[in-house]
A and B are shown apart, each in its own frame.
Chain A
Amino acid sequence: EVQLVESGGVVVQPGGSLRLSCAASGFTFDDYAMHWVRQVPGKGLEWVSLINWDGDSTYYADSVRGRFTISRDNSKNSLYLQMNNLRPEDSALYYCAKDIDDYFGSGNYMDVWGKGTTVTVSS
């Protein structure tokens, strides 16, 4: 069964740091690009970041560029999101999602989603 399981979401103070993880199983992880997408409860979906299959190309939403870093360890079938200088507006449910292709630019879309991990930024 194809599965994505996110972890690492906690309550953190403004200005703090956090690393989210996503464990992938049931598919060949290094064949696919991966995304992080977030959702404030009761609000819409916001794309956060994308990483190509080999980790050599990364893309970010303007709202997180310079503060968040996406990475992956294909030997561990894992995706990460390092979040620094967190702001209250970063509070959301963070989803890990698998892309249909291995790089950006080929008609990308997410065909598998995890259940998400909740990040709360509050003092």
Chain B
Amino acid sequence: DIVVTQSPLSLTVTPGEPASISCRSSQSLLHKNGDNYLSWFLQKPGQSPQLLIYLGSTRLSVVPDRFSGSGSGTDFTLKISRVEAEDVGIYYCMQALQTPITFGQGTRLEIK
């Protein structure tokens, strides 16, 4: 199974400051078609997860452009350029190169 490891597991950020979350996989998530099969989700308190980023770096159209995804192979990063209060929650990365599909442990973002 592909193991996906996130860091840090928790993050406290001042509004307006940047935030960065790392996601590392035990195997390369780069498909032969050139796409990285890595997604990012945010689960806000009391809500279901919502998709933010797919194929490593493609932002869903409704997601604010302060969110960006980068990386390839085994190392990926989710960046928030300027954190806002509504960004609190738990962020998960997920690999879908192979089954079983696996999620990272989650990174809890709190506002200072």
27-41 of chain B: CB within 8 A of chain A: 31, 35, 37, 39, 41
B94, B96, B106, most chain A CB atoms within 10 A: B96
* Residue in A60, A104, A109 whose beta carbon sits within 8 Å of that of B94 in the complex: A109
> Which chain A residues border B51 with CB–CB below 8 Å?
109-111
Interface presence of B55 (CB below 8 A): yes
**A75–B76 CA distance with the chains assembled, in angstroms:** 40
- Residue pairs across A and B with CB atoms within 8 Å: the count is 63
Range class of the A interface residue count = 20 to 34
**Provided the pairs A100-B54, A109-B54, A109-B96 are in contact, do residues A45 and B48 lie with their beta carbons within 8 angstroms?**
no
Q: Is the CB of B37 within 8 A of A107?
A: yes
> Which chain A residues border B48 with CB–CB below 8 Å?
95, 113-116
Interface presence of B73 (CB below 8 A): no
Q: What are 28 inter-chain pairs, A to B, with CB distance below 8 A? A: A37-B49, A44-B103, A44-B105, A44-B106, A45-B41, A45-B43, A45-B92, A46-B103, A47-B101, A47-B103, A50-B101, A59-B100, A60-B100, A61-B100, A62-B1, A104-B96, A107-B31, A107-B55, A108-B96, A109-B55, A109-B96, A110-B41, A110-B51, A111-B54, A111-B60, A113-B49, A113-B50, A116-B48
Give chain A's interface residues, CB within 8 Å of chain B. 35, 37, 44-47, 50, 59-62, 95, 100, 104, 107-111, 113-116
Give chain B's interface residues, CB within 8 Å of chain A. 1, 31, 35, 37, 39, 41, 43, 48-51, 54-55, 60, 90, 92, 94, 96, 99-106
